[in-house]
Amino acid sequence: MNRPPEDYIVFPLDVPSLDEAMQYVRVLGECVGLFKVGLELFISAGPDIVKAIHDAAGPKVFLDLKLHDIPATVKRAFLAASRLGPRFITIHCDQGDGMLEDVARDNPGGTKILAVSILTSLGPSDLERLGYRPSYVEDVSALVLDRARMAREAGCHGMVCSGQEVARVKQEVGDEMIVVTPGIRPAWTRVPGDDQRRVVTPKEAVQRGADYIVVGRPIRDASNPVEAARKLAGEISTAF
């Protein structure tokens, strides 16, 4: 292992205000590799949240906006967001490779572009209702692999996918593509009313090739978040 285990951990700041977010940043700043800012917090706190995290913890922002609109709008939104200096920005694959290529081609700040394949909250029955063809419904990983190839060819730096697909994605597109894996559930925790369907443990995800794992509630809901983050890092270290 050539990275410290805590570097693999992405902690999502799924809270509604800058003040609440910064409480976690100050406590967990040395225990995790990245802080993920999603739609709720970004809409609530605005761009100031990115600067606040940078000032408190360094360049550790993963801006998870999952940009999805007509290509021209996505391109302008990406450029505006990249000027804030995040390490990663997410973009949905649903608009196809043309839009991804346009964004990747015009990236003066060099922000890492992560393509979102399929949300980990979606299962086969959801894909069927959404009208995906039977081959994808029967094998979700086939759809993920198609989108991984598309993202690589378009010039994206990585992608987001379930831990169940990480190994096949790495085999398909190579180790140079960064893979971020949500839907992580340590074996020592249980999440009531879990909305994640395709879940794996931290050790499984890293062994399969995940470069980063997103872990929220098991840390946030713990009586001692720092202790939980360190326990998670310990589990990751056993993957090697």
Residue 98 CB-density burial (10 A; 0-12 exposed, 13-18 middle, 19+ buried): exposed
Domains and CATH numbers, the chain: 5-237 (3.20.20.70)
**Which is the catalytic residue, given 66, 112, 170, 203?**
66
Give the pTM.
0.91
Q: Establish whether 66 is a catalytic residue.
A: yes
Residue 196 CB-density burial (10 A; 0-12 exposed, 13-18 middle, 19+ buried): middle
- Pick from 41-55, 68-82, 99-113, 194-208: least confident: 194-208
CA nearest neighbour of 228 among 53, 28, 19: 28
Give the span between the Cα atoms of 206 and 48, in whole angstroms: 32
Highest mean pLDDT among 41-45, 200-204, 218-222: 41-45
pLDDT tens by residue, 203-222: 999 999 999 999 999 999 99
DSSP 14-58: --SSHHHHHHHHHHHTTT-SEEEE-HHHHHHHTTHHHHHHHHHHS
Please say if the pLDDT value at position 150 is more than 90. Answer: yes
pLDDT tens by residue, 125-140: 999 999 999 999 999 8
Please say if the pLDDT value at position 92 is more than 60. Answer: yes
pLDDT at 193: 54
pLDDT at 51: 97
Please say if the pLDDT value at position 120 is more than 80. Answer: no
The first and second tokens of residue 33, run together, are 């590799």
Confidence of residue 191 (pLDDT cuts 50, 70, 90): low
Please say if the pLDDT value at position 192 is more than 70. Answer: no
pLDDT at 6: 97
